[in-house]
Structure 1
């Protein structure tokens, strides 16, 4: 495995992030280039990039809020985002198809969860497809139920992770990995 780095996104990452978003999500499920840019510019501390020596291989992006409404499509454009909000809403967790199956999602998720704890956030929320429920459960996310969201014309499920010390699983996070 080559050296990996996790960092906050920069505007110069836009083209590669948009390419990964489009390669990984079907049709209207993918965010537009404008939405990806707004997420980078508005909340870079909630937009984490995983890169190797060659290129960006994946990312997680999110917004912060005081009131969570997972079916709110406007929040995907960060309408209602408040960087001081205690709750985090993940919008994308994505690894380029060429790099999937190498535990990069796990590395990125663990780092993201720890970063949000360090920022004193209290809970992380997300919506996901049925086949991803068990994956997110591995990180301590709890199933909340079916979502009212019909984003991309699909049906979704809501999950949350409490970041309180007694409820979160112990997670190791590494900013740089070398093997």
Structure 2
């Protein structure tokens, strides 16, 4: 996987050896730390569907299942559209381009801040090998912005 050089500081790679039956598998953890809106951390480009989309794209490794887990603790900046509900989702697009998403947090319509912590959430999705995927952070209030979040991508190599 290629990573933009200016963003290398945002990725920590941890490799551990775990015995599984008679085989040894490497568990590779990519940690996306302090993902800023509009940045691409892993290879691929930002998918701009609207101003409030931010995406990272990758392929799952050959012969492996991917386990996506993590949490977000984001700050938001809200604008005048205080009637909306800010929903933060992780969108997974598989090889048939069927969209699957997990809602990891939501701000009720009466929760708006100039800045503040978004309630943390967690999620996990198992995907087959060689699946083209996008992880999308989506805040559906166009007047607010996710400033930072953290996500970890785990996969077990065969």
Q: TM-score range by the shorter chain?
A: 0.3 to 0.5
Structure label with greater radius of gyration:
2
Bigger strand fraction: 2
Higher relative contact order (CA 8 A, sep 6+): 2
Bigger helix fraction: 1
What is the TM-score of this pair, normalised by structure 2? Answer: 0.34
What is the TM-score of this pair, normalised by structure 1? Answer: 0.32
